[in-house]
Structure 1
Amino acid sequence: MSGLPLKWAIAGDGTSLAYRDSGGDGVPVVFTNGYATSTYYWDALVAALGSEVRAITWDLRGHGRSQPAREPQSLTVAGCADDLRRVMDAAGVERAVQVAFSFGCQIVLEAWRLMPERVMGLVPILGPFERPFDTLISPKVGPQLFEVFRRVRPRWAGAMLKAGAWSGRMPGVHGLAQLTGVVGRGVGARAMRPFYETLGGIDAASWHALGVAAQAHSARDLLDTIDVPTLVIAGGRDVFSPGELGREMAMLIPGARLMWLEEATHTGLLGHPEPIAASMRTYVKGLATPAAPAA
């Protein structure tokens, strides 16, 4: 996708949203990023799906190529779902499969609340459906981290982002991240390089506002109303969004399928692209095949 030209949509606060569109006649699929990531996370999956899908990737406000939010207070989960709608409008896509990673799962679930008629299907990958800090690392650690995060001023938030970007260049950091389960064993240091590069360019005010908004949000009340084909992908070694959250989500959504990747950490999109792509291909083909009439 990186070779395709950048296109632009306009958020409700006037911020320019960057997106790319592969075009073609495949099933329209919009890929929504996670917190503190950019569209590079989707490259392997989009390439594997090829012409079977019309792939649209986009950056959250303050991330990647999108501009910093002009009004950070509008960066609620609902505000991000509205950004998603505006990207679809700009691309001329009326209805699409909504694929999301990490925090992006909350965004596409909120899109179901706000515009169900535009959701063809849902594929939440390694993400929560509510209050992500409650289960971050552990139920005791995550909420305490959030209290620290919530009190951080944007200036210090920017320093945190730059420190994270700088740490990626330090010897031994990648090995430590693998040892602690933050990064998957099969994910090389080169594959993580774009993540650290992205961290350094994120707008601090936008990043902080999104983190606070994510913790205030829940889509639990929506899950039993979802009536489009849903594939939930969860990782057994994910310490950021524990796999049991994905299992619970799949149980609460009527008819949802669960793909369980026992060895996947939160970097599962980078470490397990082949099985995820294979499952996605089956899912997309199922959308294109009419259901058999009842006997």
Structure 2
Amino acid sequence: MSAVVRVGTAETADGALLHWRADGEGPVKLIACNGIGVATFFWRRLAQHFSPTHTFVTWDYRGHGQSPVPEHPENMTVALCARDLRTVANAVGAERAVLLGHSMGAQVILEAYREESARVQALVPMLGAAGQVFNSFGGLEPIFRLIIEVGSANAQLAERALRAVIKWPGVWEAVKALGIVHPDLCPREDFEPYFEHLSQLDLRGYFALARDLLSHDASELLPDVRVPVLVVAGERDLFAPLERSQEMAARIPGAELLVLRQGSHAAMVEQPELLALSLEKFLRAHELA
């Protein structure tokens, strides 16, 4: 028997609309937060695994996926995404939940914990960092800052350029050659939705979030986290290097660290079975299964 699926739209206090989907109807809710510029497709395998036993909730940030572009996409921040997460949690009836976050989503769930820790049963930051993510690139941070500022001022031009790159016949081979994904473990069919999503993305919100990521930092919160935490890292992650996850796990009391061998920033679709079983074990150990 297939799991019950509910789909809906939550409205924020300022009128933004957020698309959400809930797979399953188990008593423990898992709410997944995406990375920047990403919709819900990377969570598909985990949703399939947990929907028979849990309620697995995915949702789209403003202007991403099936959530329409808000009136002022240039105002998007990590903290705003965390407040939107609360709106979605209320809409799906999740008084308390386990929060999962991929890439930027790791910072979103930490902000959500900062705002309402009593509603958080556990945290699972995946392939991310607590903050200051561009520090991972050393001396390249000024270049990223320049790209973000130029892109913000020329979002439509950036969109046209991005679409041209995505349509280039060799883009998939280039992504593999650059180490963005594992050349053998990442299925192209699981990555194609990302290309499709980027080709339709309004980059005003993307650049606003990227600008906020230049300064956002929840590191000071880590020693005060008092819920179970599983930090997931990719051994070959270029965007959130392993040492950032190790640092995060070391600063959170009692946190566990799962390192996916050979895992890239797309390790969620490269090693979905291992990730699902490890998360299941973690939840069971903390009576959240």
Normalised by the shorter chain, which TM-score bucket?
over 0.9
The alpha-carbon deviation at position 265 of structure 1 amounts to: 0.8
Amino acid corresponding to residue 105 of structure 1 in structure 2: A
Whether the 8 Å contact between 1:168 and 1:193 is mirrored in structure 2 is no
> What SS class does the counterpart of residue 198 from structure 1 fall into?
helix
Cα distance in structure 1, aligned partners of 2:114 and 2:221: 7
How many angstroms does 1:55 deviate by? 0.5
Offset from partner CA, 1:110-145 (integer Å, 9 cap, x none): 11111101111000000111122221xx21123421
**What code does the residue aligned with 2:127 have?**
L
Match of 1:284 in 2: 283
- Residue 96 of structure 2 contacts residue 121 of structure 2 at CA under 8 Å; is this kept in 1? yes
Helix, strand or coil for the counterpart of 2:109?
helix
Distance 1:278 1:158 in 2: 42
1:97 corresponds in structure 2 to 98
Residues 206 and 134 from structure 1, CA distance in 2 versus in 1: closer, same or farther, beyond 3 angstroms?
Answer: same
**Paired letter, 2:169:** P
Q: Unaligned 5+ residue runs, structure 1?
A: 291-295
Q: Aligned partners of 1:167 and 1:45: how far apart in 2? A: 30
TM-score, normalised to structure 1, is 0.91
Aligned-residue RMSD, C-alpha? 2.0
1:272 aligns with 2:271: yes
CA distance in 1, matches of 2:8, 2:167: 31
Render the CA deviation track for 1:239-289: whole Å, top value 9, x for unaligned: 111111011000000000000113011111111111111111101212327
What do residues 33-75 of structure 1 show as CA deviations (whole Å, max 9, x unaligned)? 1001100110011112232221110000110001112233542
The amino acid across from 1:257 in the alignment is E
SS of the residue corresponding to residue 67 of structure 1 reads coil
Write out aligned runs for 1:1-295 (5 A). 4-135=5-136, 138-154=137-153, 156-185=154-183, 186-288=185-287
CA distance in 2, matches of 1:6, 1:50: 14
Whole-angstrom CA distance in 2 between matches of 1:208 and 1:160:
10
Q: Provide the C-alpha distance between the structure 1 equivalents of 2:24 and 2:188, rounded to a whole number of angstroms.
A: 32
Greater shift in the superposed pair: 110-119 or 21-30: 21-30
Query: CA 1:171/1:289 → structure 2, altered by over 3 Å: closer, same or farther?
Result: closer
Is 1:13–1:70's contact at 8 Å kept on the other side of the alignment?
Answer: no
* Amino acid in structure 1 at the alignment position of 2:25: G
CA contact (8 A) 1:166 1:196 kept: no
SS at match of 2:239: coil
Which stretch shifts more, 57-66 or 207-216? Answer: 207-216
Separation in 1 of the partners of 2:286 and 2:75?
34
**Is the CA contact 2:75–2:205 (under 8 Å) kept in the aligned structure 1?**
no
Sort the Cα spacing of 1:69 and 1:263 in 2 relative to 1 into closer, same or farther, 3 A: same
Q: Deviations 1:63-93 (Å, cap 9, x if unpaired)?
A: 0001112233542221111000000111111
Counterpart secondary structure, 2:123: strand
Cα distance in 2 between the residues matched to 1:13 and 1:257: 37
Whether the aligned pair in 1 keeps the contact of 2:6 and 2:23 (CA below 8 Å) is no
Inter-CA distance 68–88: structure 2 relative to 1 (3 Å threshold): same
TM-score of the aligned structures, taking structure 2 as reference length: 0.93
Q: Which moved more, 1:280-289 or 1:93-102?
A: 280-289
Q: After superposition, what is the alpha-carbon deviation per residue over 1:212-243, rounded to whole angstroms, capped at 9, x for unaligned? A: 11222100110000010000000111111111
Q: After superposition, give the CA deviation of every residue in 1:4-43 in whole Å (9 maximum; x if it has no partner).
A: 4530111232110000112412421000010011001100
CA distance in 1, matches of 2:6, 2:28: 20
Moved segments of 4+, more than 6 Å: none
Tell me the secondary structure at the aligned position of residue 36 of structure 1. Answer: coil
Instruction: Give me the identity figure in percent.
Output: 33
Gaps of 5+ in 2: none
State the secondary structure of the residue aligned to 2:286: helix
